Amino acid sequence: MTANEKANIASFLDLAGDYLSGGFRRPREGYAFADDPADKKNPADAKFPAETESLPELPAVTETTEQSPTGEGDSLEAVAAEIAACTRCGLCSTRTNAVPGEGMRRPLVMVIGEGPGADEDETGRPFVGRAGQLLDRMLDSKGRIGLSRNSNCYIANIIKCRPPGNRTPQPDEITACVSYLVRQIKILKPRVILAAGNTAVKTLLDSTEGITRLRGTFTFFRGTLLMDADFNIPLLPTFHPSALLRDESLKAPVWEDMKALRAKLCELDGDYAARMADIPL
C-alpha cells in the first residue's frame, strides 16, 4: 500500500469519527506514512476498492450556522440574514424592517430590551427612538459609566420585529424568536448582560417575578435558554428606558443600577477598571 493510500484511509476514518462524535472536523497535522514496497507488486492490492484513491468526504458541517454549542461556526451576519427572512410568527407580516441588533463583537455589556418600536422598525436599528437616546445617555452617564454601542456594548432585543402598536410580545412570538438571541449571546460572549424591562428579565431568567422586585441585584444567566453549562454570565435587571420616560422617579434607582454595573465591570475587566479609576461617580 502506498503512503498516499494510507493517508486517504486515515483521513476518511478520522473525519468520520469527528463527524459522529462532535459534528465538526477537528484540525490535525499531516499524516506521516511510508510506502510498503511489497504492496507495489502484490496482486492482492486488486481486491482493495479503487475508489480509495479518491474517497468521498462527509459534509463540511462547520460551514453551517448552528452546529457549535459555543458559537464557533456561527456569525452575527448569518443570524441577521436569517432574521431578515424570518417568517416564524405573524410579526413578519406587519414589520417594515427586522431589527437584529448592533454594536461591538466582543462587548463588555450586552443590553437586551423587549422589542423594536416604530423608529426601530423604520430604520432596522435597535434603540434609536426616544428610549434609545435615553439608553445611550444612561450607558455613558457623562463618562462616569463609560459605555457605548460604538465602543464596548452590543444592543439587542428579545424579539426582532415590532409588535403592532408596541404591545407586549406574546409568548408564542418570544418562543419563535428567542433562539436568534441565544445564538447572538453565544457568539458575542458578553462579560455582563444588562436586561432592560419585564419582558427581557422574565425571558432571560425564566422567572415570573416582576422587574421592580428583581432590579438592581446581580444574578447569573446560567444558560436556561443556552442549554450550555459553560455559560455563566452576570446579569443585572433594570428598568427599561421607556419606563423612565413615563415615570421620572425611576431615574434614581436606575442610576444605582448603573453604578452597580460599573463596579461589576471593574471586577471583571482590568482595562475597564484602569480607564475608570480616576473618574468619580
Same domain, 222 and 100: yes
pLDDT of residue 150: 97
* 206 within some domain: yes
pLDDT of residue 108: 98
Same domain, 30 and 125: no
* 188 within some domain: yes
pLDDT of residue 46: 37
* 110 within some domain: yes
Same domain, 51 and 168: no
pLDDT of residue 223: 59
pLDDT of residue 11: 58
pLDDT of residue 78: 97
Same domain, 129 and 150: yes
pLDDT of residue 95: 97
Same domain, 161 and 268: yes
Q: What is the number of structural domains in the chain?
A: 2
* 192 within some domain: yes
Same domain, 134 and 26: no
Residue 208 is part of a domain; what is its CATH number? 3.40.470.10
What is the residue range of 98's domain? 76-276
pLDDT of residue 136: 97
pLDDT of residue 232: 83
* 199 within some domain: yes
pLDDT of residue 42: 44
Mean pLDDT per 10-residue segment, the chain (281 residues): 62 53 47 56 38 34 33 86 97 97 97 97 97 97 97 98 96 96 94 97 91 93 60 92 97 97 98 96 91
CB atoms within 10 A of CB 51: 9
Same domain, 240 and 106: yes
Same domain, 115 and 225: yes
* 126 within some domain: yes
Same domain, 201 and 98: yes
